[in-house]
Structure 1
């Protein structure tokens, strides 16, 4: 069992909103509690890492300030033992990931540059190299790997979903592991192919003049929906709540998925630059918002520094069925 003592409690207090970002007044007390605990340095490293990983922007910045204060003031016992690989990897991620807040990335760059002077100090050699390192083991959600992008690749998905249900009695749902639901679609690829082939024959010819007003609306809605999703993600306290457990975030996530299918449908039909540019931009905004949701909710795969119980519960929406990509390589060149 990992230690939980006055070290963790003090870091929890010092990273709260009660302290200004650059307040160093609590460093002496923190140094003292670390010194009197046998596991003080390693417990401090873990507590700081968790703030960097799950905390809001203020807590992340405070954690970086505290770490810098400890490096300068906690003495050789601390500096020789605190810099374990999980903390180093979390620092690399905070300093380079597009999902890190710009203020956090900026603070990391400043500190990494400052810490480069410690190259010859025992225990700080690896800290001194952070300014020229990228994450080593972090598995990011790339566009090729993204579940949600694969699920929304079919621009005619809504048309297929609108198809009348078969009059046959529905078969009972298959039992799933632990009964947990998934926020990704659960239809089998064979069912999707059948619906796709039927829907193709029923599609109406595309009429640009008739679709213009809807295109304008979808473009505007896409920008707003992407912004709304990103905004709600910033309000979630990941220390206490999973992203996919937040009903408002899931609702806005689903709205972005629906809008992306509509955007891709228009991109599939439209060649005129007047419309293609705004549509591609709308797709980019939706992709960014959807992948941000997916990345922040994938603690196990996305965070190679995870060794705590909370992170090990992550990735709620894994499923066995991989959706079949719809877009041809020619079409995906414009979209992905």
Structure 2
């Protein structure tokens, strides 16, 4: 079994790591879209974070990873109700995947051999309570992306076809990555992702050397490397779990609500999804920082993650989305 690279050992990419941590604290944020150069640690970060999190408890053999037997779907036909532990699931969704493979469909083998109408679960069932990772999401067919985002938001997968009527829980963090040179997502789909990050290959020589040094150490003596970074990962895990516990009690002053709305209006974002996501991300960051309530500094930190990908294109403004968000923050927050 290949050991995941330690999350704490990833060099740089602070925004990407912060976005991943925020979704681990509040999975309801709506997933993360990571656009940037190849080889910048996008898939490594997803697997590293999942490996860092504590294992999930589930009923043995439950196809949707349910923690309690009563939550496991009727069609699962469990052999026992034994509770086991397993790592947080990370499911890869390949390009060219069919809708049946994603949502599940009629089990043809059982239908032909036994004459039974049974459901064969898909990738959404396996990803429940974990992560669904889509590399090159901008090359995925739009109807599949629509489906993934709908299910990620509702938390339930519903299959109505071939005489089947099946529903099961499908609560997962959707992480999409891609290279903008190979095509962009439609604005309607961009808006549905909770957070967005742009990553670049490091330009600093020392940083690049450190990436090489750590990767070489990981590959040549994995055990020693994991021991070296195990303490850091344990500290990160404890901080995430503490933030999860504190999230519900994190206060939200009225002034923060006003600032969220003013930022969205200043940037011209459509609908209300932008400020709702901005507030959730700021609350998660405040809980992670151990703050009793959300402060403007939390809004400043997460606003580029929550709003940059929701901006309308302005042909008269040559500044990038990050610069536009920074300008709006200066106007609104001072």
Please indicate, yes or no, whether the TM-score normalized by the shorter chain is above 0.5: no
Q: Which has the higher strand share?
A: 2
Per the normalisation by structure 2, the TM-score is: 0.22
Per the normalisation by structure 1, the TM-score is: 0.22
Q: Which has the higher helix share?
A: 1
Which is greater in Rg? Answer: 1
